[in-house]
Amino acid sequence: MTTTQSLELFLKALEGQNFSPKTLRAYGDDLTQFLCFVEKTRVDWDSPTRFARADIEGFMQYLAAQRRSGVTRVRKLAAIRKFFTFLEENKILAANPANAVKGARREEKEPNILFKEQYKALLYEASDNIRDYAIIQTFLQTGIRLSELVNLHVEDLDFEHRILTVRQGKGKKDRQIPLVDEAVKALRNYLRYRNTELILDDDTFFLAKNGTSMNVSTVKYLVAKYVKKAGIRKKVSVHTLRHTFGAHKADKHMSLATLQEMMGHKKKETTLKYIHLAKTNLRTEMAQTAL
């Protein structure tokens, strides 16, 4: 079996294990990059039995020279290790050459969050657009991920019980998030507009102007547009709005277990960083806005 065939078999196995399309693409992209690197250094790259620890360490050194972050290198090494583990378990390889490769140190970077005056400015700039305002309110008031927002359907919003349901979020797990007044009002306003002004083509909740589903690029663009209009100079992405939700909820003493459930974190360690953010970044806001 060739290396190319082995990769195809590996990705099919992940698909059979119900990994999400996004995860499959990530594994495929990382492993393709690795194989392309090895192909440039060895003529026998398409034979999986010829891979050695030196090939993987060489790829890690290449990524370091490209100034790829430690987090990125760790992720790519995890993909390579999982691939070779699969080959070993299926008797294609006698041993996993990635087992002895040490991962890069992860950078300890605190995620950006928006202070109150900043997210208020962001909402103000979007207030003339019913859909965009509802999108930003949804991010700030629920902390859902970008992929989760674009996959929301009309039936996922229960206004009677004030619940937003995220179906098959990260980790293939459903979760329910209570909606506060600001989110309910914004989402209801958009739903009325959506049902009366758009030519509906599907039941996706947030739609493009032509009535079809929105893609992630469109949402990224509209958030960046309002960040610029609001005069926010720090680096802000869609994920910054999720971080803002987590940090402000932690600052208001939401319990760790509840915050973990709301944000859909698999590990509580992921949620703990928002407790730290609430004790540092939000305290800076107090100093900056002192009377």
Q: Is 177 helix (H, G, I), strand (E, B) or coil?
A: strand
Question: Splitting the chain (291 residues) into consecutive groups of 10 residues, what average pLDDT does each group show?
Answer: 93 92 92 95 89 93 91 93 95 90 73 88 96 97 94 94 86 86 96 79 83 89 96 92 91 88 88 74 56 53
pTM of the complete model = 0.68
Fold exhibited by the domain 116-288: hpI Integrase; Chain A (1.10.443)
- The C-alpha atoms of residue 115 and residue 51 are separated, in whole angstroms, by 50
> Residue 178's beta-bridge partner residues?
163
Fold exhibited by the domain 3-89: DNA polymerase; domain 1 (1.10.150)
pLDDT computed for residue 107 by the predictor: 58
pLDDT computed for residue 217 by the predictor: 93
pLDDT computed for residue 211 by the predictor: 78
Alpha helices in the chain (DSSP H): 3-16, 21-39, 53-65, 70-89, 116-126, 130-142, 146-150, 181-197, 216-229, 238-251, 256-263, 268-288
Q: Which two tokens stand for residue 158?
A: 């229960």
Over residues 272-290, the pLDDT tens digits come to 888 767 666 555 655 555 5
- The C-alpha atoms of residue 57 and residue 54 are separated, in whole angstroms, by 5
Element (H, E) at 211: none
The residues spanned by each domain of the chain are 3-89, 116-288
pLDDT computed for residue 284 by the predictor: 60
pLDDT computed for residue 148 by the predictor: 94
- The C-alpha atoms of residue 6 and residue 92 are separated, in whole angstroms, by 9
How far lies 63's CA from each of 66, 69, 234, in Å? 5, 8, 27
- The C-alpha atoms of residue 91 and residue 94 are separated, in whole angstroms, by 6
Token match 């914004």: residue?
Answer: 186
pLDDT computed for residue 280 by the predictor: 62
In the 8-state DSSP scheme, what is residue 153? B
Inter-residue contact 98 to 84 (CB < 8 Å): yes
Q: Which two tokens stand for residue 166?
A: 């995220």
Inter-residue contact 250 to 278 (CB < 8 Å): yes
> Residue 176's beta-bridge partner residues?
165
Helices 256-263 and 268-288 pack at an angle, to 10 degrees, of: 100
Over residues 73-132, the pLDDT tens digits come to 999 999 999 999 999 999 998 899 999 898 877 655 667 889 889 999 999 999 999 999
What are the two backbone dihedrals, phi and then psi, of residue 287, each rounded to the nearest 5 degrees? -70, -40
Burial class for 192, CB neighbours closer than 10 Å (0-12, 13-18, 19+): exposed
pLDDT computed for residue 274 by the predictor: 80
| Nearest C-alpha neighbor of 110 from the set 287, 272, 289, 291 | 272
